[in-house]
Amino acid sequence: MDSSATWAILSFTAPYLLSVIAFLIFIEQISYMKKKTLIPGPSLVLPFVGNAISLVRNPTHFWDLQSDFARSTPLGVSVNYILGKFIVFIRSTELSHHIFANVRPDAFHLVGHPFGKKLFGEHNMIYMMGQQHKDLRRRIAPNFTPKALYTYTAIQQRVMLKHLMSWEQLSSSTSAPIALRFLVRDMNLETSQTVFAEPYLSGEERERFNIDYNLFNVGLMKLPIDLPGFAFRNARLAVDRLIKTLSNCAAKSKASIVSGKEPQCLVDFWMQSTVKEEREAAVRGDPPPPHSSDEEIGGHLFDFLFAAQDASTSSLLWAVTLLDSHPEVLAKVREEYTQAVAREILRYRAPATLVPHIAGEDLPLTESYTIPKGTIVFPSVFESSFQGFIEPDRFDPDRFLEARQEDQRYKRNFLVFRAGAHQCVGQRYAINHLVLFIAMFVTLLDFKRHRTDGCDEIAYVPTICPKDDCTVYMNRRCARYPSFPLN
């Protein structure tokens, strides 16, 4: 076919193609406006992509705008549109509780990330509901007993001391301030690896683990383009490798427990009860108990890693930031005040600000508004933290002391660890980790923030951190470091 014939065909078909595209755009806008009704949000959205570009480019501005929309109505709700998905943002504490209390097959499905199933896999713990979810939580309960937490504390101290010493050496070798974000992330990743599976990870596996977790982290904040060369695809493949590594750790741990060794890490405490149930099932002639295969356990260990890693990095950075800007609180911390400070840090800067769910059906949210099926719903635990409490915009650890007991009076607004059936199972571990870090950091090191314009503004990476990555000067405060073993 010559070029003139091709041009003639294109000239003939182009108006029809443009008409079809225009019609699809029109239908999309009508669908968005129908779902939006009178709820605050953008009046019109870009075809097909919606506001995905602004979300990826500047997530802080995007979510601040959603919060402003929600504040403009007594309902406390706003809407938007991302990559063909209608979304609802919720700042109302009571409506957030409504979401958390109705996670079930015919209502809301917790997803952890708008495109989480592609990243985490279909059988991830956060997608479980009903009896299956209850059974799994029962199985992992031994991981967080007082005995287990005591074992982890010894590991956490050892890893933290190693890193604090290296930070001080790094800081003393230069006159420039040091950005803590990646240093804290690396410390937390080593802490998680060591607490979860220390005896079963080789040095080479740890190095690959660090690389893969970084690929996963980067992919969380990118558009979900599952093609070679794109960050999202790299993240998905990295998760597969991480789960495989953790599955191998589960198998080695099982063998260790079978041989009669005492638990040394989190997976060992898990395998203690699992091995006992497997033996009892074998005696009865039954199949192995559910959630006991190495592959399943590896996947759930990755769930723990994801939950512990980035949220803790966020909390530790805000601890340094807020203690520097509140010297009167820092002085109290050095006089044993850490529990109240840790809880106020989590309230004031809730690390995982949003908890995405998907509506499995059309669901009434209020008497006047029904969430359409397929909508991604974002209850904001960050917004709830600034409701109810006395002077909520003020960093004030005294609110958690016995005299005021705001943690009890406004308990429904403290949603850092969510609520309902999917409330975070590792919250005691998370608080212990933050308390231990604060105690060791302020005892062993003197520090001072390198302050610049906007340094304390919130950045999403993907949990919230100070915009400047928490840049500080450090030097040793103690006469000598404690003598924890460092190997």
In a structure prediction context, what are the per-residue pLDDT tens digits for the chain, which is 487 residues long? 556 666 666 566 767 677 777 767 788 888 899 999 999 999 888 888 888 888 888 999 999 999 999 999 999 999 999 988 899 999 999 999 999 999 888 889 888 776 777 777 666 777 788 888 888 888 888 899 999 999 999 999 999 999 999 999 999 999 999 999 999 999 999 999 999 998 999 989 999 999 999 898 888 878 788 889 899 999 999 999 999 999 999 999 999 999 999 999 999 999 998 999 889 888 898 888 888 889 989 988 888 888 778 899 999 999 999 999 999 999 999 887 899 999 999 999 999 899 999 999 999 999 889 999 999 999 999 999 999 999 999 999 999 998 999 989 999 999 999 888 888 888 999 999 999 999 999 999 999 999 999 999 999 987 899 999 999 999 999 888 987 765 4
Q: How far apart are CA 288 and CA 291, in angstroms?
A: 9
DSSP string, 412-428: GG--TT--GGG--TTHH
Q: Which two tokens stand for residue 30?
A: 């009508």
Surface-to-core class of residue 100, CB atoms within 10 Å of its CB (0-12 exposed, 13-18 middle, 19+ buried) = buried
Between the CA atoms of 150, 151, 156 and 162, what dihedral angle is there, to the nearest 10 degrees? 130
Query: For residues 97 and 414, is the Cβ–Cβ distance under 8 A?
Result: no
Q: Which residues of 440-476 are buried (b: 16+ CB within 10 A; e: fewer)?
A: bbbebbebebeeeeeebebbbbbbbbbbbbbbbbbeb
Neighbours of 113 (CB within 10 A): 18
Query: For residues 444 and 167, is the Cβ–Cβ distance under 8 A?
Result: no
Q: Which two tokens stand for residue 330?
A: 């820092």
Query: What values do phi and psi take at 270, rounded to 5?
Result: -65, -45
Neighbours of 3 (CB within 10 A): 7
Please give the single-letter amino acid code of residue 355. Answer: V
Check whether 424 is labelled as a binding-site residue: yes
Q: Which two tokens stand for residue 444?
A: 């062993």
Query: For residues 382 and 354, is the Cβ–Cβ distance under 8 A?
Result: yes
The structure's pTM equals 0.87
Q: How far apart are CA 105 and CA 128, in angstroms?
A: 9
Neighbours of 31 (CB within 10 A): 14
What's the longest Cα–Cα distance across the chain? Answer: 87
Q: How far apart are CA 34 and CA 150, in angstroms?
A: 54
Surface-to-core class of residue 196, CB atoms within 10 Å of its CB (0-12 exposed, 13-18 middle, 19+ buried) = buried
